[in-house]
């Protein structure tokens, strides 16, 4: 929806202020580091051009990433522009004054009617796959959360399951490898090499699983409920079985083709090469990061589940009507008078269904029916949040930005150490190859530590980004409260003709009077819904999810009562008109009687001099018509 300015605000606060503040601080620090690196280029050009080029590339990356974080954070802290058409409608708004909406609708008018009628909520879709059912068995109330939260929870559960399967397979494979190589020639070397390979493979797999987390607030996550099948887990199990076997068989083949001399060198050099690989530390970091991410997501999801008390109830009212009105007045009066008086913040109501055939009901005993579904303008509902959710969200936001900042600093440190290793390699090249143990201890082992630092930096950046996205999901949810009203009415229309005048043969005018005999069924509920805001121009242009439906007997009684009062008021107006017309006719008859008694009809104003306006021929015809009219009036023949 486009932004529509109005002096009367909707009181929707900006939910991203704290998140934007923390993000801006990180962006400012990273930008300062990048500027510092760029300022070093001039002095480095005269001494070390390689360092100058590295500072240029790294400084440019840091400045770009820092400005992006700083700009995004400041954007989140700025004013939250919300138009008066917010939030999105539950279904397509068919009201005359409806604005153009581009948001996807999760419901239809038929769905809303079925919700109220059957007292159910189709928002809470049943999980389909076995994995989704397993997740909802562990968290039984996860089904009553909006779709983005359900999708995120299932993604975290799938990542955790894959990680546990991979770790279990790694432990089993390590035990099998140790037993397979025990007592064999070169078994200790083979066990060490295969263990390092398994640790590297597990680290890479865990990093790829946990670092890659899509945007929970993407349009796909908001409009679709994802289901996970067993295909991904099957690949994990197959890989966990096949990869250790391939590593073991490959090492056995490599060991067998080596000469005894080369085997002796490998056995002698392996204890020196083992410290080069820091796979154990990296694997531990990956496991700790995964546990922290999963723990934060679990705490926030469990706390969010209990925020809204889920109900699926609605108020009902049915009765019969019989009024001297055209049946079209039922829906026009309800929509344009009664429900218009129930508006919130002077905003037009959302009309999701306005369909009736009362405009064609003009014949005697003709059937009619119609339906109207409307929603009163939703207002912001401040639902108290649990302390666990509040502090987990704040702590997760700070932790996510802090991990990304530490990852940036470690990346800078790793690059600086890499330049030192490059200088050391040049020194070793100038002095000769030297002793192998010296090269390993003074060059390869520090270089392995630097590679571990860079990998750890990338891992921390990925974990920080994932945690920040998870927390952003829980910052962005905004709750609303509104009333939904559904009316179905059908009945029969009756038509009668009222004549103004002495009788139907000499009437001066005719009037068709309609009345209807109808039966209605009204439904109403007080709905609690939520949507997920985003920063920027399309802040509230997201679908809205119905969470809870509560009874609202007072609202439905007020609407139907006001509608019937309007009907009675219109009926009373018609009766007053008929009463006035009847009194006018009686007064005319009394004047006629008085004129007959006195014989002076012209003096009483009941006749006029025929010589003034008519010829002699027309005078006879007029007198005959007047006599016939007087007799009819005297007899009182009127179709009242």
> Which residue from 635, 615, 616 is spatially nearest to 627, judged by alpha carbons?
635
Structure tokens at 463: 């974990």
pTM of the model: 0.80
What gap in Å lies between CA 571 and CA 514, rounded to an integer? 11
pLDDT tens column, 289-323:
999 999 999 999 999 998 888 899 999 998 888 88
Q: How many CA atoms lie within 13 A of 151 on its CB side?
A: 18
What are the b/e assignments for 508-518, b being 16+ CB within 10 Å?
eeeeeebbbeb
H or E segment to which residue 355 belongs: strand 350-356
Largest CA distance in the chain: 153
Q: At what angle do helices 553-598 and 616-635 cross, to 10 degrees?
A: 120
What gap in Å lies between CA 50 and CA 421, rounded to an integer? 13
What gap in Å lies between CA 202 and CA 198, rounded to an integer? 6
H or E segment to which residue 426 belongs: helix 387-431
Task: Count CB neighbours of 72 within 10 A.
Answer: 18
pLDDT tens column, 393-402:
999 999 999 9
What gap in Å lies between CA 636 and CA 260, rounded to an integer? 136
If you count DSSP H runs as helices and E runs as strands, how many of each does the chain have, helices first? 19, 7
- Residue 531 to residues 103, 217, 340, 581, 607: CA-CA distances in angstroms? 11, 11, 25, 59, 77
pLDDT the model gives residue 640: 39
Positions of the chain with pLDDT lower than 50, given as ranges: 1-8, 502, 504, 507, 603-604, 606, 608-640
| CB 347 within 8 Å of CB 84 | yes
| CB 155 within 8 Å of CB 164 | no
pLDDT the model gives residue 88: 84
> Which residue from 482, 484, 181 is spatially nearest to 316, judged by alpha carbons?
484
Could you tell me the residue ranges of all domains in the chain? 17-77, 131-276
What gap in Å lies between CA 387 and CA 251, rounded to an integer? 54
Residues 6+ apart with CB under 8 A from 158: 131, 228, 232
Burial of 494 (0-12, 13-18, 19+ CB in 10 A): middle
Task: Count CB neighbours of 42 within 10 A.
Answer: 9
DSSP letter string over 483-495? EEEEEEEEEEEEE
CA R_g for the chain = 42
Burial of 422 (0-12, 13-18, 19+ CB in 10 A): middle
DSSP letter string over 280-331? HHHHHHHHHHHHHHHHHHHHHHHHHHTTS---B--EEEEEEEEESS-THHHH
pLDDT the model gives residue 82: 66
What gap in Å lies between CA 338 and CA 356, rounded to an integer? 18
| CB 465 within 8 Å of CB 213 | yes
> Which pairs with CB-CB distance under 8 Å and at least 24 residues apart come from 331-338?
331/356, 331/358, 331/370, 331/372, 331/487, 331/489, 333/563, 333/566, 333/567, 334/372, 334/487, 334/559, 334/563, 335/372, 335/374, 337/562, 337/566, 338/559, 338/562, 338/563, 338/566
pLDDT the model gives residue 530: 92
What residues are paired with 512 via a beta bridge? 497
Task: Count CB neighbours of 199 within 10 A.
Answer: 19
pLDDT the model gives residue 429: 61
Residue 380: strand, helix, or coil: strand
């Amino acid at each position: 929806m486009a932004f529509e300015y109005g002096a009367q605000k909707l009181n929707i606060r900006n939910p991203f202020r704290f998140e934007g503040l923390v993000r801006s601080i990180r962006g400012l620090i990273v930008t300062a580091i990048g500027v510092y690196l760029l300022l070093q280029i001039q002095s480095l050009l005269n001494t070390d051009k390689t360092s100058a080029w590295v500072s240029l590339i790294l400084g440019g990356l840091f400045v770009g990433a820092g400005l992006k974080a700083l700009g995004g954070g400041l954007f989140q802290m700025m004013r939250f522009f919300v138009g008066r058409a917010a939030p999105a409608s539950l279904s397509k708004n068919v009201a005359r004054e409806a604005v153009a909406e581009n948001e996807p609708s999760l419901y239809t008018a038929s769905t809303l009617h079925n919700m109220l009628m059957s007292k159910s909520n189709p928002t809470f879709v049943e999980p389909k796959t076995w994995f989704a059912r397993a997740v909802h068995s562990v968290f039984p109330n996860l089904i009553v959360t909006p779709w983005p939260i359900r999708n995120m929870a299932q993604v975290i559960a799938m990542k955790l399951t894959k990680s546990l399967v991979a770790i279990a397979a790694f432990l089993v494979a390590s035990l099998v490898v140790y037993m397979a190589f025990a007592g064999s020639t070169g078994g200790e070397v083979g066990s060490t090499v295969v263990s390092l390979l398994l640790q590297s493979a597990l680290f890479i797999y865990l990093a790829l699983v946990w670092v890659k987390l899509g945007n929970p607030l993407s349009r796909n996550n908001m409009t679709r409920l994802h289901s996970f099948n067993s295909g991904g887990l099957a690949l994990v199990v197959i890989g966990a079985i096949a990869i250790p076997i391939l590593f073991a068989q490959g090492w056995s083949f490599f060991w067998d083709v080596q000469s005894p001399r080369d085997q002796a060198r490998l056995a002698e050099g392996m204890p020196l090469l083992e410290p080069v690989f820091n796979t154990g530390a990296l694997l531990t970091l990956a496991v700790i990061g995964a546990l922290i991410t999963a723990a934060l997501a679990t705490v926030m999801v469990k706390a969010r589940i209990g925020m809204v008390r889920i109900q699926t109830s609605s108020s009902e009212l049915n009765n019969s009507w019989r009024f001297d009105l055209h049946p079209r007045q039922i829906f026009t009066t309800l929509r344009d008078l009664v429900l218009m008086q129930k508006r919130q913040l002077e905003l037009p109501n959302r009309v999701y269904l306005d369909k009736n055939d009362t405009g064609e009901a003009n014949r005697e005993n003709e059937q009619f029916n119609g339906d109207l579904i409307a929603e009163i303008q939703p207002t912001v509902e401040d639902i108290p949040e649990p302390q666990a959710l509040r502090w987990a969200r704040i702590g997760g936001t700070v932790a996510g930005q802090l991990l990304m900042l530490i990852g940036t600093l470690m990346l800078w440190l790793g690059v600086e150490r890499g330049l030192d290793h490059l200088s050391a390699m040049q020194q070793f090249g100038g002095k000769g190859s030297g002793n192998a143990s010296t090269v390993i201890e003074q060059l390869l082992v520090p270089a392995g530590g630097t590679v571990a630092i860079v990998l750890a930096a990338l891992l921390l950046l990925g974990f920080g980004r994932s945690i920040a996205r998870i927390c952003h999901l829980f910052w962005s949810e905004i709750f609303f409260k509104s009333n939904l009203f559904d009316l179905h009415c059908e009945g029969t229309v009756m038509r009668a003709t009222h004549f103004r005048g002495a009788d139907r043969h000499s009437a001066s005018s005719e009037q068709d009077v309609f009345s209807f005999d109808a039966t209605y069924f009204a439904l109403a509920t007080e709905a609690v819904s939520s949507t997920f805001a985003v920063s920027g121009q399309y802040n509230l242009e997201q679908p809205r999810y119905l969470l809870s439906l509560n009874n609202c007997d007072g609202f439905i009684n007020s609407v139907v009562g006001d509608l019937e009062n309007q009907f009675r008021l219109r009926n009373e107006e018609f009766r007053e008109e008929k009463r006035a017309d009847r009194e006018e006719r009686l007064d005319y008859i009394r004047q006629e009687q008085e004129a007959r008694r006195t014989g002076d009809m012209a003096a009483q104003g009941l006749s006029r001099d025929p010589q003034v306006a008519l010829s002699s021929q027309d005078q006879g015809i007029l007198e005959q018509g007047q006599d016939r009219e007087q007799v009819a009036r005297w007899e009182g023949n009127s179709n009242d």
